Amino acid sequence: MFATFVYKSAVIFIILASIGLVRSAFAVGFGPLPISLKNIPIPEVPGLLDGTDPIIVNKEQAIVLGKALFWDTNVGSDGIACGSCHFHAGADTRTKNQLSPGGKSTSFANQIFDGMASNAAGGPNYTLKRTDFPFYQLADPFDSFSQVLFNSDDVVSSSGTFSGEFSSSSRAGNGNDACSRSPDAVFHVGAKGTRRVEPRNTPTVINAIFNHRSFWDGRANNVFNGSSPWGDRDPDAGVWVKINSRNVQKQRLHLINSSLASLAVAPPLSDTEMACRQRTFKDLARKLLNRRPLENQKVHYQDSVLGALSLSSAGNSKPGLKTTYEALIRQAFNAKYWSYTRRGAFGQPVGQDPYSQVEANFSMFFALAIQLYEATLISDDSPFDRSARNAEGLPIDLTAAELNGLDLFRNAHCALCHVGPTFTSATVATNAQLMKTHPEAFGNATAGLKTSQNVVTRMLSNAGSTLSDTGFTSTGVTPVEPDIGLGGVDSFGNPLSFSAQYQQFLVGNTAKVFDAEVANVRPCDFQILFAVDSPSISTKNFTASDGIMPQVQSIENCITPVWAFQPTPAATAVELAKPDNGKARAVVAGAFKIPSLRNIELTGPYMHNGGMATLDEVLEFYSRGGNFNTPGKNFGFVFGQGDLGAFPQNRADIVAFLKTLTDDRVRFEKAPFDHPEIKIPHGHSANANPLSPDLAGDDYLVIDAVGADGSTSPLEPFDQYLVQ
């Protein structure tokens, strides 16, 4: 059955290619050849470090600031740091109190914990077992039509804050915010409140600097506006700039290739991740500015970034740095963002002094410093990267099994999504630049591939020929309903999807195009035909009989020049008025950002729902063609594959290849992956909680400080931490 399905898929794909509807590079059976990440530049951020008046004047001090902020538990309202959920190869391997009932789109009424596959009750404070995985189980894991034995819409993610209503915070002493706290309606054991858990699995921050957008649903915009995740979409965003000693002005900020900065401003204000409700960045600044960074956490005297400021010495580890957060800001950032001394323009909390300029701009300082720190977390020294290459570009130092796994990885179409040196198509700018010099990494080198920075493409999916966002896909891990992913909206009610905006661009409704790069999408770079200058009538694409026009963008270096047409606004409007949107259809609900596969051995659990514990389970999933037949599942990308299901050695060889993507510096936490000490909540006990008698006491996982030379104990895969 599977072999027949694969054969039919390949035949249909080849037929479509032969009549010019699909680019030939993506119709061949053998996929792109991944390349090393060594010497690959990170995307540039004009205006951040360059020019005559850069935002950051001391990059090294900004990285110190960013690393301290990333790991400091004082950033949270109740002891949660960014690093609390990104401490293990940039991800989270905690196993207790890590369940969330349903996905991000699940209504409150349906947030009900399921039982576990191990027959345990699950729910808050549950300790995960190996037999709880995967969260979708079949009688035959290689046959998608076999009996379903277990299915849960619960998510394995990261426990965060107790939350509550924010009242105030202190400039010294206890780092916990004063909040009105009570047991959560969903997250509680008996009458005791437990920490809330995010509704999506935590991805790694390592190599995330290459991502065009961040978060699973892409809501962390490529453009950083200085104060929110929403880029140019946020009409109130901006930073305060000193004009002279008597005047300060709020100005717009537009920093491209800064999705990690956009991401960084979200968790510290999230009432699930790190904060009490209604807390602001100005409140956080007031708490932190006068404090020693990491004042309650030991810092290794040989820390690769913080060591020079550490209070520790050999054999005598001490907490904190010999500076303050405000001092680091003043050293790292342009004075026009912090040197205005007058108050009054930036608001005033009840019963306290007015905010200062440095407090008002703290969101920018915080986000850009963390982005620069995370930009150092590049794992480009794996066995795959270190290997010599032969004339065909194959990494010849890998074992026979690993090389066979690479061949199978390509043949199974894995490399169509997990493409390029980062092993993801979500790194739009990086991949576009590399197409010029390494076409083999993105398709058949003879297919004429050239530079494309399209943030929208057109693909074949279960719903037909559809527009989709580059770097996002639906693989059928879960049904669409629990989590619509990219089909969601921002805080202003606008679609997260670029494809939905592109539909509005085509009808001429530019007021509904919130991300400028959408206007640069070129049909001549799509994967399948969108519009063609032909008198024929088609049900799949636009033709002259519908109404077409030359694409409004440049045709220079088009991948397929004869496709450089788009429908007229009138023709697009006609199609969008149809119940299924016709030829202008976009299917984005249930699509998620394609993750990198680097260090994948160490970053479980897997998928956006965390429902798979091992790479073997991931291979079973792809062998059977996914769990659910979601509308947006791309044709020819996720499908039943008999050669994988029938031959265990094939799957083992792919896993062996994937493990060559693990950088041992990550495994042993060597620089730049070393870190301060951090005490992370790991479930609850019967102990009293000093925050409130209504809350369960915390158990903790203590991660020791590690210096540049790393640890002697390697990080292990996620399943090794589960109760066996």
Q: What is the pLDDT of residues 10-69, one digit of tens each?
A: 444 444 444 455 554 444 446 789 999 999 999 999 999 999 999 999 999 999 999 999
What are the residues whose beta carbons fall under 8 Å from the beta carbon of 622, sequence distance 6 or more? 412, 414, 638, 641, 644
pLDDT at residue number 23: 52
Cβ neighbours around 692 below 10 Å, total? 18
Q: Give the per-residue pLDDT at 350.
A: 87
Mean pLDDT of the region 662-690 = 98
| pLDDT for 443 | 67
C-alpha–C-alpha distance, residues 450 and 445, integer Å: 10
- Token pair for 165: 């209503």
The rounded distance, in Å, linking the Cα atoms of 345 and 360 is 9
Q: How far apart are CA 338 and CA 240, in angstroms?
A: 9
Mean pLDDT across the stretch 608-615? 99
pLDDT of residue 627: 96
Comparing CA positions, the residue from 654, 222, 263, 155 lying closest to residue 471 is 222
* Distance, CA of 426 to CA of 455 (rounded, Å): 9
Confidence of residue 437 (pLDDT cuts 50, 70, 90): confident
State the pLDDT at residue 17.
Answer: 47
Tokens linked to 653: 């060889």
pTM of the predicted protein model? 0.94
Structure-token pair, residue 442:
């993105």
Average pLDDT estimate for 175-185: 97
168-172, 206-210, 674-678, range with the lowest pLDDT: 168-172
CA dihedral 381, 385, 388, 393 (to 10 degrees): -170
DSSP labels, 507-526: TT-GGG--SGGGGG--GGG-
Percentage of residues in the chain having pLDDT higher than 90: 87
Give me the pLDDT at residue 646, please: 87
Mean pLDDT of 421-426: 95
For residue 10, what pLDDT is reported?
A: 41
Q: Are 146 and 1 in contact (CB under 8 A)?
A: no
DSSP state of 549: E
Find the radius of gyration of the CA atoms of the chain: 26
Q: How far is CA 645 from the centre of its chain?
A: 29
* pLDDT confidence of residue 430: 87
Spatial CA neighbour of 79 closest among 687, 617, 678: 678
* Distance in angstroms (rounded) separating the CA atoms of residues 318 and 61: 21
Lowest mean pLDDT among 194-198, 311-315, 430-434: 430-434
How far is the C-alpha of 497 from the C-alpha of 387, rounded, in Å?
Answer: 38
All residues at 6 or more sequence positions from 28 whose CB lies less than 8 Å from its CB, including other chains:
444
Q: Which residue has the higher pLDDT, 632 or 384?
A: 384
Q: Which two structure tokens, joined as six digits, stand for 629? A: 């037949």
Q: pLDDT tens digits for 439-457?
A: 777 765 444 444 578 999 9
Check whether 8 has a pLDDT greater than 80: no
| pLDDT tens, residue by residue, 269-301 | 999 999 999 999 999 999 999 999 999 999 999
CB neighbours of residue 258 within 10 Å:
27
Whether the predicted pLDDT of 431 surpasses 90: no
If 0-12 CB within 10 Å is exposed, 13-18 middle and 19+ buried, where does residue 236 land? exposed
| 74-124 pLDDT tens trace | 999 999 999 999 999 999 999 999 999 999 999 999 999 999 999 999 999
Give me the mean pLDDT over the 390-414 stretch: 95
Measure the CA angle with vertex 638, ends 3 and 423; round to 5°.
Answer: 125
Alpha-carbon span 446 to 24, nearest angstrom: 10
